[in-house]
Structure 1
Amino acid sequence: MSGLRLELGPAKEPLGLVRGLQWFFSIFAFATCGGYSGAVTFRISCFGANTTVTAPFAYPFRLNHAVFMPSLTTLCNKTWLGDLHLVGDFSSSAQFFVAVAVLAFLYSMAALALYLGFLHLYRGAGGRLPLADFLVTVAFSFLWLVSSSAWAKALTDVKTSTASPLPHCPPPSVSCFPAGVTPMGSLNVSVVFGFLNLVLWVGSSWFVYKETNFHRPAPAPTPGPAAM
């Protein structure tokens, strides 16, 4: 039979249990990174007047597009000749990390559905499906390693950029004081979830490998009736 056979047994085995954890934690990985928004705020004092300027930023962290508002060109007797931006573009690392998390979410969900509904096909396909599953799992392990490392480095650079002083503040006529940056706790958590997913995918490689013919040889063919 090649139809659906719902079996909850694989969900209690490491093969299905780890896939469920991968599905669950991949959601937190892309949600904590992709859902972030924040701002950098400075207080500017000049000629007896105080003004607060803010540069909002968010995923995918193209900080060089984040402009301080209200425009600094109207402040302090035109000390700044043009609008000021934050520094750096970290979108490639952030988008790569989120893309890996979303793809891992989709694949782990599809694999879990295969285990629960079509395990007889999975284990009865001559080892082709377990081998493909194993290769994809190894590939995702590598992608989690690369994307999490790249995003961790990019996050460090984001923090450095947003903590930089405001340029062109000649004292004593103009004073610029940092008034705060939106906390980045959720971004720190996204890095943690990235490496946690790495551990889960590396660990699941062993359980998927055990389903392949390399670890579990294909059953020998049933001998036919003896010739008369």
Structure 2
Amino acid sequence: MDFNLAVFQEPRGVMRIVQFIFSICGFATITGYTGYINVVCGTLTKHTFVYPFEVIIQNISSKCSIDIVGDFSSDAKFFVTTGVLSMLYSLAIMVVYTKLDKMYKSNPKIPLIDFVITVIMAVLWLSSSAAWANGLTGLKTDTTLDSSKCQNCTITTSSYTTLNISVIFGFLNFFLWASDLWFLYKETSWFQGNQRQTGDGV
């Protein structure tokens, strides 16, 4: 079966490549993150937290009885699931573009399905990014401790730069999927029907 690589010279093809890459960047920045809380009260006690960020630490040190309890897994999992679905769909539709391009253009239902799924993915990116941004704020609040509550102890926490970047990637992905809708709309029978009606009217 022939491959139609010319589609990657069109906006819809280029956008799918970009979406595929940035979807991976979005969820990889979360799943690859390892945070820590270091408590020095004479000796070092180190606590780590990773995806999906169910942080439960009781008595962070033998000399400091602060407890940390925070479950941000639902927001994090929602975000990562959206990223994985985006990656898989981008890959699948690129296969359709390259191997089944004639069917894509001849069957009006396929462009409509592509358009609707892209709308859904854009909504998922917006909602999951907003949810994760809220979850990240809670994670920062719960893991940023006041060392004055523990006498003669020093508490340090890891940087959240990587997780901040993940939120940026999330909203960037929303922009990419939303901006792709115009190019996909032009492939649908809705747009082409309007164009024919306009031409007939003239």
Alignment TM-score > 0.5, same fold = yes
- 1:63 counterpart = 2:60: no
Structure 2 CA distance, aligned partners of 1:60 and 1:198? 22
Q: Displacement, 1:164?
A: 2.1
1:102 counterpart letter in structure 2: V
Structure 2 CA distance, aligned partners of 1:67 and 1:189? 29
Distance of aligned partners of 1:59 and 1:68 in 2 relative to their CA distance in 1, 3 Å threshold: farther
Structure 1 CA distance, aligned partners of 2:2 and 2:31? 37
1:124-162 superposed Cα distances (whole Å, 9 cap, x missing partner): 11x100001111000000000000011111111111111
Which TM-score applies when normalising by structure 2? 0.89
Name the SS of the counterpart of 1:15 in structure 2: helix
Superposition RMSD on alpha carbons, in Å?
2.2
Aligned to 1:88: 70
Distance of aligned partners of 1:39 and 1:67 in 2 relative to their CA distance in 1, 3 Å threshold: farther
Name the SS of the counterpart of 2:48 in structure 1: strand
- 1:24 counterpart = 2:6: no
Aligned to 2:199: none
- 1:217 counterpart = 2:193: yes
Q: Tell me, which stretches of 5 or more residues in structure 2 are unaligned? A: 197-202
Q: 1:53 aligns with which of 33, 45, 56?
A: 45
Identical pairs, percent: 39
Aligned to 1:223: none
- 1:156 counterpart = 2:137: yes
2:153 counterpart letter in structure 1: C
2:132 counterpart letter in structure 1: W
Q: 2:121 aligns with which of 127, 140, 152?
A: 140
Aligned to 1:42: 39
Structure 2 CA distance, aligned partners of 1:217 and 1:8? 27
Structure 1 CA distance, aligned partners of 2:149 and 2:11? 59
Name the SS of the counterpart of 1:60 in structure 2: coil
2:171 counterpart letter in structure 1: F
Q: Is the 8 A contact 1:63 1:89 kept in 2?
A: yes
Q: Displacement, 1:200?
A: 0.5
Distance of aligned partners of 1:62 and 1:217 in 2 relative to their CA distance in 1, 3 Å threshold: same
Name the SS of the counterpart of 1:123 in structure 2: helix
- 1:14 counterpart = 2:30: no
Q: Is the 8 A contact 1:138 1:201 kept in 2?
A: yes
1:174-219 superposed Cα distances (whole Å, 9 cap, x missing partner): 43322x212222111111111110000001111111111000139x
Which TM-score applies when normalising by structure 1? 0.79
Structure 2 CA distance, aligned partners of 1:139 and 1:190? 20
Q: Tell me, which stretches of 5 or more residues in structure 1 are unaligned? A: 45-49, 221-228
1:108-139 superposed Cα distances (whole Å, 9 cap, x missing partner): 110111111111001111x1000011110000
Structure 1 CA distance, aligned partners of 2:174 and 2:94? 18
Q: Displacement, 1:38?
A: 1.6
1:139 counterpart letter in structure 2: I
Name the SS of the counterpart of 1:111 in structure 2: helix
Q: Would you identify which runs of 4 or more consecutive aligned residues in structure 1 move more than 6 Å?
A: none
1:64-112 superposed Cα distances (whole Å, 9 cap, x missing partner): 2x4566xx4xx35xx74xxx54231100000000000000000011011
Name the SS of the counterpart of 2:68 in structure 1: coil
More helix by share: 2
Structure 2 CA distance, aligned partners of 1:193 and 1:211? 27
Structure 2 CA distance, aligned partners of 1:200 and 1:192? 12
